[in-house]
Amino acid sequence: MALFTRNKKQNDPQFHNEDIATHGGYQYAVSEKFSSLHANSRLSETVLSAFDYSGKKVIDIGCGDGKYTEEIYRRFKPAEIVGVDPAGEAVKLASDRYAVPGVRFREASIYALPFPDGYFDIAVVRGVTHHLDRPLEGMKEAVRVSKNIVLTDPNGYNPGCKIIEKISPYHRTHKEMSYFPFQYNRWLREAGATVTKDYYILLVPMFFPEVPARFLARFESFFEQRKYLSRFFCGTHVRIAANNKYKN
């Protein structure tokens, strides 16, 4: 079984809509496993610390059930925050669950975002690109509608990511594939953005058994603080970039 080829792609929104119907939210967001809670907490910490979202226009691309869109709103009270996702059932759930002024949700694809150029100050692309067959096109749209972008995704340099996406039932069902970080750098550059910061986080995978997950969590800080170790042992890479059209 090849580690670097994607499982045959089907209709991703179909699987995510099934998550909503079965679990009342996306599996990774509603899971009470230590590994999922820990990983999501660290991812949120990363996204929330990337920018000061206060008073800004923000788009959360691939917002899922809206949990992390609302998290940004609650912490920063941006001027406007829009969550978009291609899974209609997820958007309905998000709209019902987080129906507050200043937060709205729309069903839309990353390949065709229904907003003008540079409309948003910040685009959040959290755990989205590994679902895409056309990541460059997705990056071009994300950059087109925003002045700045924060992106997190599985780290293709990490052999564990390659193995998990081939043997994990969840990852196989959702047709996930970790791309290499140097590919993201190229895609963002071709989309017209400059990477201003990049780093690697997390040793603990989603949906991992509790005992080894807690063991790995004890060593995360050690690996994250060491440049070359983090590049190959950490499971998530982070890219913060600026749209070249709007750089000061």
The domain total for the chain is 1
Token pair for residue 11?
């209709």
Identify residue 96 by its one-letter amino acid code.
Answer: D
Give the helix ranges, DSSP H, for 24-120.
Answer: 27-30, 34-50, 67-76, 88-97
In a domain, 39, yes or no: yes
2 in any annotated domain:
no
Q: What is the pTM of this model?
A: 0.88
Q: What is the DSSP-derived secondary structure letter of residue 6?
A: P
pLDDT digits (tens, 9 = 90+) for 90-116: 999 999 999 888 899 999 999 999 999
Neighbour count for residue 14 (Cβ, 10 Å): 10
- Predicted pLDDT of residue 139: 97
Domain assignment of residue 12, yes or no: no
The pLDDT value given to residue 205: 86
Question: Which domain, by its residues, includes 45?
Answer: 32-246
> Per the domain annotation, does 155 fall within a domain?
yes
Position 102 scores a pLDDT of 86
**Edge-to-edge strand order for the sheet containing 193-201?**
103-107, 80-85, 57-61, 120-126, 146-154, 236-243, 193-201
- Strand 57-61 vs strand 80-85: parallel, antiparallel, or unpaired? parallel
CATH number for the domain that contains residue 177: 3.40.50.150
- Asked whether residue 67 is domain-assigned, the answer is yes
Helix (H) or strand (E) holding 59: strand 57-61
Q: Tell me the β-bridge partners of 238.
A: 152, 199
Residue 186 falls within a domain, yes or no?
Answer: yes
Please indicate, yes or no, if residue 68 is contained in any of the structural domains: yes
Tell me the pLDDT of the chain (248 aa) as tens digits. Answer: 445 454 444 446 665 656 665 655 565 565 678 998 999 999 999 999 999 999 999 999 999 999 999 999 999 999 999 999 999 999 999 999 998 888 999 999 999 999 999 999 999 999 999 989 899 999 999 999 999 999 999 999 999 888 887 787 777 776 778 899 999 999 999 999 999 999 999 999 888 899 999 999 999 999 999 999 999 999 999 999 999 999 76
Here the tokens at position 21 are 């119907």
Domain annotation covers residue 203: yes
